[in-house]
Amino acid sequence: MYDYLIVGSGLYGATFAYMARQQGRKCLVIDRREQAGGNVACRRMEGIDVHLYGPHIFHTDNEQVWRLVTSLVTMNRFTLCTIANYRGRLYNLPFNMYTFHQMWGVVTPDEARRKIEAQRGRYAGITPRNLEEQALQMVGSDIYETLIRGYTEKQWGRPCHELPPFIIRRLPLRFTYDNNYFTDRYQGVHEVGYNILI
């Protein structure tokens, strides 16, 4: 007899089962996929832990969550810093002072703001009708053409002027020198792979 039937063995189901068991409850975890772990499931290939459903970096602002995870597995010091390659030139993401320096050679936040302001031009006061207008309004033409247009059209399979503006509204712009993709206090990847944690 079980106290709980947990459908899904991802981070949520596994955490629930772990904590319920600590309270003396008996759990049965089932999953329709072949392996446990949900989105964070890994498979060891050629000596590498391949994240089967896309790369996962564990990040949280919650100290209790971090303490729980690090009581079970050792985390490495990985910090996600992404780089875009546009025609052989490298740009840091998310957009921050390093990106603006790479794009225009500017050094201070004021210089970067002035560059963006000058490029926003006629889009500054309008209500954007599509993603292209939204992006031009937010970051101007250089960043849009170099770092947004091609990537977005490839991902969505449609031209930017046919996509809705809200997709890009959460695009962060940082006027500091900070390449860290996340803003959480804690982040890393398990040294032994997520399967052990699950």
Give CA–CA dist 139/120, Å, rounded: 7
Question: 105: helix, coil or strand?
Answer: coil
Shortest CB 100 distance to ligand FAD, Å: 25
Assess contact for 109 and 88: CB atoms under 8 A: no
Considering beta carbons, is residue 56 or 113 the nearer one to ligand FAD?
56
Assess contact for 126 and 133: CB atoms under 8 A: yes
Q: Which of 21, 29, 34, 40 binds ligand FAD (CB under 6 A)?
A: 40
Question: 4: helix, coil or strand?
Answer: strand
Is 8 among the residues that bind ligand FAD (CB under 6 A)? yes
- From 28-36, 136-144, 159-167, 170-178, span contacting ligand FAD (CB under 6 A): 28-36
Give CA–CA dist 8/68, Å, rounded: 20
Is 53 among the residues that bind ligand FAD (CB under 6 A)? yes
Is 10 among the residues that bind ligand FAD (CB under 6 A)? yes
The encoded tokens of residue 94 equal: 């998310």
Q: Which of 6, 17, 42, 59 binds ligand FAD (CB under 6 A)?
A: 59
Is 11 among the residues that bind ligand FAD (CB under 6 A)? yes
